[in-house]
Amino acid sequence: MKNDKKQRLTAFVNPELVKRAKVRGAIDGLTLSEVVEHALDAYAPIIEEGKGKKINLVVPR
């Protein structure tokens, strides 16, 4: 997953989730960016499964 090219990402995330991610990163010796990158990388296969399929995205308000 090592790649020198990076893209800035802005997201609004539940503060408790951010806190948990920071703690996990501290335990594992990772930055918050690295924790998020690992999480997105783990989620990538699920995203790939949806290619070409109709997906109904429900966004809570």
User: In terms of pLDDT, which residue wins out, 45 or 57?
Assistant: 45
Q: What is the pLDDT of residues 6-25, one digit of tens each?
A: 999 999 999 999 999 999 99
- Are 41 and 1 in contact by the 8 Å Cβ rule? The answer is yes
Looking at the chain, the whole-number percentage of residues with pLDDT higher than 70 is 90
Q: Where are the domains of the chain?
A: 15-49
Instruction: Report the distance separating Cα 29 and Cα 23, nearest Å.
Output: 10
pTM (2 d.p.): 0.70
Span 32-57, mean pLDDT? 83
Could you tell me the CA-to-CA distances from 21 to 2, 10, 29, 36, 40 in Å, in that order?
20, 16, 12, 8, 13
Per-residue pLDDT band at 45 (split at 50, 70, 90): confident
